[in-house]
Amino acid sequence: MLDLDGDLQSTLWTTAQAAEAAGVKPGVIRAWAHRGHLKRANSPLARVPKYRAIDVVKAEKATRERARRTYSAA
């Protein structure tokens, strides 16, 4: 279980940690990054991508809000 009480601005998570925190599978985190919803916090040349915790939380919230949208047939 990840500690969400720490400083989310400076905490960095791996893909697996970010997925656990957001309640999704690691492939979803990679998809968010690929689509531009989530930006890597470390160098693109680094072997293990790391994401700022606050960015993961924001991406997860935005994704869930987009999923709840309804469109009327005007």
Reported as a single tens digit per residue, the pLDDT across 30-57 is: 999 999 999 999 998 999 999 999 999 9
Q: Are strands 12-14 and 50-52 parallel, antiparallel or unpaired?
A: antiparallel
Reported as a single tens digit per residue, the pLDDT across 20-30 is: 999 999 999 99
Region of residue 23 (phi > 0: left; psi between -120 and 50: alpha; otherwise: beta): left
Q: What pLDDT score was predicted for residue 74?
A: 60
Are residues 29 and 56 in contact, defined by beta-carbon separation less than 8 angstroms? yes
Which residue in 53, 44, 43 sits closest to 14, CA to CA? 53
Architecture (CATH level 2) of domain 12-66: Orthogonal Bundle (1.10)
Instruction: Look at 69 and 74; give whichever has higher pLDDT.
Output: 69
| Residue 64: both structure tokens together | 């869930």
| Cα 7–Cα 10–Cα 13 angle in degrees, nearest 5 | 95
Q: What pLDDT score was predicted for residue 72?
A: 67
Q: Where are the domains of the chain?
A: 12-66
